[in-house]
Copies of this chain bind each other. A is one copy, B any other.
């Protein structure tokens, strides 16, 4: 079985960019034509909302799949819509997989023993119905929270190994309050550095042919110095880097997140891409009404612009 890191590198090579698009379909921001149609058909309720989300995602995937190799689904925006929302999560993932994209489930789960096993089976493995197995959510990788320690991660390591899947452990998150605990000095190191050390260990049994591990880390954009330090602590880990484009982060700042081989990080943007039509600059260019009608063009423009910025920052021309 091909390891996750080898599959990831393959798709990054094919698409020529480390850009990841986050499918965080907040209902309120969806183009109104999609909502109207789905509410008419299924009702202005959780089912109608879930169907609107699914249509929105499918159309985005049609637009972006020539340009990016990886998408990230933030499960909260599906979970909030109840069982129908979870159904749209699963269907979006399947649709993206069919398009040849790698899918990261941004679930940030973290729990103990049998519970962690259930989560691992559900999201990365197969679900056992008294001897009959059935596919779980079927994504390629998930994000996890490290606070509960090694034995909360190990069921996922086992599943990742069995099915060629990947993990991204939250080391340093994008929010201001990430300082509350992640930046606390514990002995000679900060907590996030201690976590990074463990991530490196956890991943040591899952290194692919590429030299990269299936166990990666979530590392917020915006701090080149920290990126460099964490890079040294986790040389074989892929970094999933959220927060790009937000809070004044510059493309150049993410350079230290990569290794010298040009791999080792994937850079994620969500709302700035999928809701690009709400960007004041776009609105100004095309006018409010027209802007919304052309929301797919806005998505494509935004993703191409991000590809270009990131490539330039990494010194790869365009």
In the assembled complex, 16 residue pairs joining A and B whose CB atoms fall closer than 8 Å, in A order, are A24-B115, A45-B132, A79-B119, A82-B122, A82-B137, A83-B87, A83-B90, A86-B86, A112-B173, A112-B174, A146-B181, A148-B173, A152-B175, A184-B186, A184-B194, A186-B187
Residue interface bits A3-44, CB-to-B below 8 A is 1, else 0: 000000000000000000000101110000001000100001
Q: Check if A127 is an interface residue, CB within 8 A of chain B.
A: yes
Q: Check if A150 is an interface residue, CB within 8 A of chain B.
A: yes
In the bound assembly, the distance between CA atoms of A14 and B134 in angstroms comes to 44
- Please state if A132 and B44 are interface contacts (CB–CB under 8 Å): yes
- Please state if A149 and B181 are interface contacts (CB–CB under 8 Å): yes
Q: Check if A217 is an interface residue, CB within 8 A of chain B.
A: no
- Please state if A115 and B76 are interface contacts (CB–CB under 8 Å): yes
- Please state if A119 and B80 are interface contacts (CB–CB under 8 Å): yes
Residues of A162-193 at the interface with B, using a CB-CB cut-off of 8 Å, are 170, 173-182, 184-187, 191
Interface footprint category on A:
35 or more
Query: Which of B35, B79, B180 is within 8 Å of A150, CB to CB?
Result: B180
Q: Check if A130 is an interface residue, CB within 8 A of chain B.
A: yes
- Please state if A127 and B81 are interface contacts (CB–CB under 8 Å): yes
In the bound assembly, the distance between CA atoms of A285 and B271 in angstroms comes to 60
- Residues in chain B near residue A24, CB distance under 8 A: 114-115
Number of copies: 2
- Please state if B115 and A77 are interface contacts (CB–CB under 8 Å): yes
Query: Which of B28, B122, B149, B186 is within 8 Å of A185, CB to CB?
Result: B186
Residue interface bits A75-100, CB-to-B below 8 A is 1, else 0: 01101111110110010000000000
Query: Which of B83, B132, B146 is within 8 Å of A84, CB to CB?
Result: B83
Query: In the assembled complex, how far is the CB of residue A104 from the closest CB belonging to chain B, in whole angstroms?
Result: 14
- Please state if A129 and B82 are interface contacts (CB–CB under 8 Å): no
Given A122-B76, A129-B46, A137-B82, verify A195-B173 contact (CB < 8 Å): no
- Please state if B129 and A44 are interface contacts (CB–CB under 8 Å): yes
Query: In the assembled complex, how far is the CB of residue A80 from the closest CB belonging to chain B, in whole angstroms?
Result: 4
Q: Check if A222 is an interface residue, CB within 8 A of chain B.
A: no
Query: Which of B82, B109, B147 is within 8 Å of A90, CB to CB?
Result: B82
Q: Check if A204 is an interface residue, CB within 8 A of chain B.
A: no
Query: Which of B44, B116, B145, B185 is within 8 Å of A110, CB to CB?
Result: B145
- Please state if B118 and A182 are interface contacts (CB–CB under 8 Å): no
In the bound assembly, the distance between CA atoms of A109 and B173 in angstroms comes to 14
- Please state if B46 and A127 are interface contacts (CB–CB under 8 Å): yes
Q: Check if A62 is an interface residue, CB within 8 A of chain B.
A: no
